[in-house]
Amino acid sequence: MISVYVHSNGETRCVERIDSAWLAPSSQVVLWVDLVEPTRDEIQQVLVDTFRFHPLSVEDAASEIQFPKIEAYQQYLYLILHGIDFQEEEHRFATRDVDFFLGRNHLVTVHDGRSRSIARLRELCSQHPHILSEGPVALLHRIVDSMVDNYRPEIEELEERIDQMEQEAVLGSGRDIVRQILDLKRDLSSLRRVVIPQRDVIGRLARREFPLITDEMAYRFRDVYDHLVRLADESITFQDRVTGILDAHLSNVSNRLNQIMKVLTVASTIFLPLTVLTGMYGMNVPLPHFPGSDATQFWWIFGIMIAIAAAMLAIFRSKGWI
């Protein structure tokens, strides 16, 4: 699906076809072409025939690319940026790529229709026709800014998951912690893989490497860049914390093993001597007689057993085991 927003003479229209006059070097119109899940034909017609973009960038736009990047061609900049994929299920962190072709007076966006940031801009363009008059770079900034803002709730959700796992690891609960850590690590790794190159792409816009970007727009991109720097920074801090959770978990498992073994050792070292004692008095040989009558023999033995158990317990208590 193709939507064409064209601004000329202070007026914005939404049309369906691109007038090639608009692309003339002297043209004063501002053009935003939004391709949603374009067919091969649409790509050929718009990107190749009309805009005459370089085949390599067109090919990248037609396929799904995992890696944000920026490429300067002679007449335009080609950017791949990643936005949060809110339709991903199972609470996993996932992103979708959006492609941008940024020219002197036009912005072409190619995506799969899931981008909330572009949806919002489309709405905005309908309501505030003057938005297009700021030029294609400002349009790009609006989309990118909103895409980066959308990372924030996802990051916070990740942080909550980490907080909760830290609690669980400290308390020793959390059966499934190994699986959760592996899941979290994969999510963090996806986050880093997207955020770090994205930060570098926006950094290049902010550093005015490209003549298309004016000083004013560079200030704005520096703001987005700062957000991405913080995201990248947080993703690394999270990584550290996840490692800490695993350490805490393993340390707890070891501690619990010690607890278990103490119980076993205490029980065994108390009852084994008693077993030997009772075994001795069960032997079919004449036994030494404790002082007193026959009836008191049992109580002598019982007393010795109690004494042995008490001595053992005292020893273990002095060791701090119980």
Q: State which amino acid sits at residue 6.
A: V
Cα gap 147→149, rounded to integer Å? 5
Among 157, 219, 306, 322, binds a second copy (CB under 8 A): 219
Residue entry with tokens 């991109």:
221
Question: Which lies closer to a second copy via its Cβ, residue 8 or residue 297?
Answer: 297
Least distance in angstroms from the C-beta of 293 to a second copy: 9
Residue entry with tokens 């608009």:
22
Asked if 103 is part of the footprint of a second copy (rule: CB under 8 A), the reply reads no
Question: Which lies closer to a second copy via its Cβ, residue 11 or residue 163?
Answer: 163
Among 152, 164, 278, 303, binds a second copy (CB under 8 A): 278
Interactions with a second copy, residue window 282-321 (CB under 8 A)? 282-288, 294-295, 297-298, 301-302, 305, 321
Least distance in angstroms from the C-beta of 236 to a second copy: 9
Least distance in angstroms from the C-beta of 29 to a second copy: 27
Tokens of 279: 């075994």
Question: Which lies closer to a second copy via its Cβ, residue 22 or residue 271?
Answer: 271
Least distance in angstroms from the C-beta of 190 to a second copy: 9
Question: Which lies closer to a second copy via its Cβ, residue 19 or residue 183?
Answer: 183
The residue count for binding a second copy (CB under 8 A) is 83
Question: DSSP for 41-110?
Answer: HHHIIIIIIIT---HHHHHHHHS--SS-EEEE-SS-EEEEEEEE-TT--TT---EEEEEEEE-SSEEEEE
Interactions with a second copy, residue window 50-89 (CB under 8 A)? 54, 56, 59-60, 65-67, 69, 71, 73
Least distance in angstroms from the C-beta of 255 to a second copy: 6
Is the CB of residue 210 less than 8 Å from the CB of residue 201? no
How far separated are the first and last CA of the chain, in Å rounded? Answer: 73
Asked if 170 is part of the footprint of a second copy (rule: CB under 8 A), the reply reads yes
Asked if 254 is part of the footprint of a second copy (rule: CB under 8 A), the reply reads yes
Is the CB of residue 58 less than 8 Å from the CB of residue 32? no
Among 211, 275, 291, 318, binds a second copy (CB under 8 A): 275
What x/- string results for residues 4 through 23 when contact with a second copy is judged by CB under 8 A?
--------------------
Cα gap 258→320, rounded to integer Å? 12
Among 15, 257, 306, 314, binds a second copy (CB under 8 A): 257
Q: 150 Cβ partners below 8 Å, 6+ apart? A: 83, 84, 86, 116, 117
Least distance in angstroms from the C-beta of 26 to a second copy: 26
Asked if 262 is part of the footprint of a second copy (rule: CB under 8 A), the reply reads yes
Least distance in angstroms from the C-beta of 85 to a second copy: 18
Residue 142: strand pairing partners = none
Q: Is the dihedral angle over the CA atoms 197, 199, 200, 204 positive or is it negative?
A: positive
Question: Which lies closer to a second copy via its Cβ, residue 15 or residue 315?
Answer: 315
Interactions with a second copy, residue window 187-206 (CB under 8 A)? 189, 193
Q: Can you tell me whether residue 32 is helix, strand or coil?
A: strand
**CA distances to 110, 138, 262, 274, 278 from 303, in Å:** 89, 92, 25, 11, 12
Burial class of residue 276 (count of CB atoms within 10 Å of its CB; 0-12, 13-18, 19+): exposed
Asked if 211 is part of the footprint of a second copy (rule: CB under 8 A), the reply reads no
Among 120, 159, 269, 304, binds a second copy (CB under 8 A): 269
- What value, to the nearest 5°, has the Cα angle with vertex 40 and ends 36 and 44? 95
